[in-house]
Amino acid sequence: MARYERRNALILGAGRSGQAAARLALETGGRAAVVDERWAPSALAELSTQGVSCLHADHEHLPDGAYDLAIVSPSFPPDHPWVRAARDRGLSLISELEFGAAHWRGDLLAVTGSKGKSSVVKCLADALCAAGRPALPAGNYGVPLSECVLECPGRGAGSIAVTEVSSFQMEHTRTFAPRLAAILNIQADHLDRHGTLEAYARLKRRIFQAQRPEVGARAYLPWGLSPLGIRPDVPLERFGREAWVDWRHVPGAILHKDLRIPFSGYFDNPVLGPAAALIAAMLHACGLTPDQIAAGLTGFRPLPHRMQPIGECGGVRFVDDSKGTSLAATQAALRMVGRGVRLIAGGQLKENDLDFLDQELAACARKAYLIGQAQDALHAAWADILPCQRCGDMAAAVRAAYADAAPGDTILLSPGCASFDQYPGMAARGEDFRAQFLALPRPTP
**Domain co-membership, 174 together with 204:** yes
pLDDT at res. 376: 97
Picking from 250, 275, 298, the residue at the C-terminal end of a domain is 298
Q: How many structural domains does the chain have?
A: 3
- What are the residues facing 53 on neighbouring strands? 33
**Domain co-membership, 14 together with 109:** no
**Domain co-membership, 179 together with 314:** no
**Domain co-membership, 336 together with 272:** no
Helix residue ranges per DSSP H, 171-306: 191-194, 197-205, 273-285, 290-298
**Domain co-membership, 121 together with 142:** yes
Inside any domain, residue 172? yes
- pLDDT values of the chain reduced to their tens digit, one per residue, 445 residues: 456 888 899 999 999 999 999 999 999 999 999 999 888 888 888 899 999 999 988 888 888 888 999 999 998 999 999 999 999 999 999 999 999 999 999 999 999 998 899 999 999 999 999 999 999 999 988 799 999 999 999 999 999 999 999 999 999 999 999 999 999 999 877 767 888 889 999 999 999 999 999 999 999 999 999 999 999 999 999 999 999 999 999 999 999 999 999 999 999 999 999 999 999 999 999 999 999 999 999 999 988 999 999 999 999 999 999 999 989 899 999 999 999 999 999 999 988 889 889 999 999 999 999 999 999 999 999 999 999 999 999 999 999 999 999 999 999 999 999 999 999 999 999 999 999 999 999 877 6
Picking from 278, 298, 318, the residue at the C-terminal end of a domain is 298
**Domain co-membership, 145 together with 265:** yes
- The widest CA-to-CA distance across the chain, in whole angstroms, is 72
**Domain co-membership, 113 together with 259:** yes
**Domain co-membership, 267 together with 338:** no
Inside any domain, residue 445? no
**Domain co-membership, 273 together with 345:** no
Find all residues with CB under 8 Å of 171, minimum gap 6, and list them. Answer: 72, 74, 77, 78, 95, 203
pLDDT at res. 40: 83
**Domain co-membership, 123 together with 67:** no
DSSP code string of 63-131: PP---SEEEE-TTS-TTSHHHHHHHHTTPEEEEHHHHHHHH--SEEEEEE-SSSHHHHHHHHHHHHHHT
Q: What are the percentages of helix, strand and coil residues in the chain, rounded to 5? A: 35, 25, 40
Picking from 298, 329, 363, the residue at the C-terminal end of a domain is 298
Inside any domain, residue 24? yes
Q: Phi and psi at residue 201, in whole multiples of 5°? A: -65, -35
pLDDT at res. 1: 42
- Can you say whether residue 76 is alpha, beta or left, with left for phi > 0 and alpha for psi between -120 and 50 degrees? beta
**Domain co-membership, 83 together with 163:** no
Nearest to 213 by CA among 195, 189, 232: 232
**Domain co-membership, 273 together with 334:** no
pLDDT at res. 445: 67
pLDDT at res. 159: 97
Looking up residue 71, the CATH number of its domain turns out to be 3.40.50.720
Distance CA 12, CA 86 (A): 10
The residue segments making up the domain with residue 360 are 308-438
